[in-house]
Amino acid sequence: MEFPDLGKHCSEKTCKQLDFLPLKCDACEEVFCKDHITYDKHKCTSAYKKDVQVPVCPLCNTPIPVRRGEMPDIVVGAHMDKDCKYDPTQRVSFKVFTNKCSKEGCKRKEMIKLICNHCHGNFCIKHRHPQDHDCKAGGHSLSKAGASEPSFRPTGSNRMSSGRHPRHNRYKFVK
């Protein structure tokens, strides 16, 4: 038992497939199968009616109206030359160097914080060591000998000792 009135044939000239769930193009209003429903696949002559894209200005992110037949690039270019509200001086800038040195009289800023272990002040590369910023840890000034107490102390020898690679025994941890 056949149903001759059930389904429709694809309107694409090379296909003509009988489709029981046909799809109607919203631009040209012809019936197509699932393989030819897109505008490109059936070379729709009315695609310009539905395939509308609104360009956006790359500077101010404003949608730019384009009339039929106008080139979007030319219209956006004209907007950028005349009507664009973009002002580069009003742009919010991201500051990289925000960590100001705590040494009196120094105006340098660094990208990262360099905190002194003794006085907990933030200093620039030049004043990062306690003896360079006159560190007053615990209320009294540290001497040059006491301030230079590193957390890593060099061993003095670059030669291999105890069968290790020379880089592995160059520094020892000191508490």
CA distance 29 to 154: 84
pLDDT-based confidence at residue 24 (cuts at 50, 70, 90): very high
Q: How many domains does the chain have?
A: 3
133/99 same-domain check? yes
Residue 149 inside a domain? The answer is: no
pLDDT at 105: 92
34/22 same-domain check? yes
46/57 same-domain check? no
pLDDT at 84: 87
pLDDT mean over 71-84: 89
43/59 same-domain check? no
* Long-range contacts of residues 33-41, Cβ cutoff 8 Å, at least 24 apart: 35/10, 36/10, 36/11, 36/12, 41/12
42/59 same-domain check? no
User: Which range of residues forms the domain containing residue 116?
Assistant: 95-137
* CA proximity to 115, closest of 93, 137, 85: 137
pLDDT mean over 133-141: 70
Residues 6+ apart with CB under 8 A from 55: 63, 64, 66, 72, 73, 75, 76
